[in-house]
Amino acid sequence: MSRTKVNSIREQIAADLAGNAIKYKRKLLREVDALWRRTGGALPFDSAQGDERLEMLAEKVADEFRITGAAKDLFLKEVKSGQQQIAEVWKEYFSGVIGEELALKAGTYEKLVALTKINFKGLQEDQRDLIVDQTRKAIGQGQGFATLRNELRKNGLGAHVAETLANTSMGAFDHAVLQEYAAQVNVTHFKYDGVIHTNTRPFCRERVGKIYTIAELDAMDNGQISPVSIYLGGFNCTHTLSPVIEGLTD
């Protein structure tokens, strides 16, 4: 085989790896997560023992996939960074849960990552902390909108405010989970989807039916709450993001 052909193949492989970097990284992180669950991992990732075990499992995955040198260092850094991120929501998510039930189940990793994105910046601090904490607890206990709304009302929020925040928070969580799974299979584009009503916001009216990346959405300003990728038009927005899959999406 000629040197020109070899170089061409090498360049193509490098381009494929670069273009699918997120996909490969997500798969490797899922391998670490799966090992954590199979070995009965029940310790918060930011605890001393949890951090030690996490590094051991990451090393194991790196060895199995023959990741060495600088690539291995980068992988270990990504694993630690990802788990430090979800450690932020661990306490609230598992509030009231002890013992063996604390072990991660399938889908928990994605839920924890999604919950790190729900922060309600712009709200008054006490209101923001309440909605964020209660959302994490509700999701961790397998509850939904009604439970979250009721808990917010018990904590002093009026009926209308509680309903708006609960509805907005659950919608944002659904969008964040969808995007986490989409990233794992390298889906990068989403259709701004939904029905246009007489009271549809101008922001949504201009975007329904169009296709965007998450970065493009997050560069937008809906005038209410950000990021647009999970809150879309703002409070009580009924629109959604539909993954665009080549060959399968209209």
- Give the tens place of pLDDT for each residue, 130-143: 999 999 999 988 88
CB 179 within 8 A of CB 214: yes
CB 187 within 8 A of CB 244: yes
Sign, CA dihedral 226-230-235-241, equals: positive
> Which residues does residue 191 pair with via DSSP β-bridges, in sequence order?
211, 242
Tens of pLDDT along 94-138? Answer: 776 655 555 556 678 788 889 999 999 888 898 999 999 999 999
Question: Residue 215: its pLDDT value, please?
Answer: 94
Band of residue 18 on the pLDDT scale cut at 50, 70, 90: low
Question: What is the model's pTM?
Answer: 0.78
Which residues make Cβ contacts (< 8 Å) with residue 69, sequence separation at least 6? none
| Residue 167: pLDDT over 80 | yes
| Residue 6: pLDDT over 80 | no
Question: Judging by DSSP bridges, how do beta strands 211-213 and 240-243 pair with one another?
Answer: unpaired
Residue 85 CB neighbour total at 10 angstroms: 14
Band of residue 170 on the pLDDT scale cut at 50, 70, 90: very high
Share of the chain above pLDDT 90, in %: 44
Three-class SS string for 89-107? HHHHHCCCCCHHHHCCCCC
Distances (CA, A) of 44 to 93, 97, 147, 175, 200: 11, 13, 26, 25, 43
Distances (CA, A) of 91 to 14, 97, 165, 218: 41, 10, 21, 28
Pick from 178, 176, 188, 177: nearest CA to 23 = 188
Mean pLDDT of 198-205: 95
| Mean pLDDT, the chain, whole residue set | 82
For 37, the token pair is: 């669950």
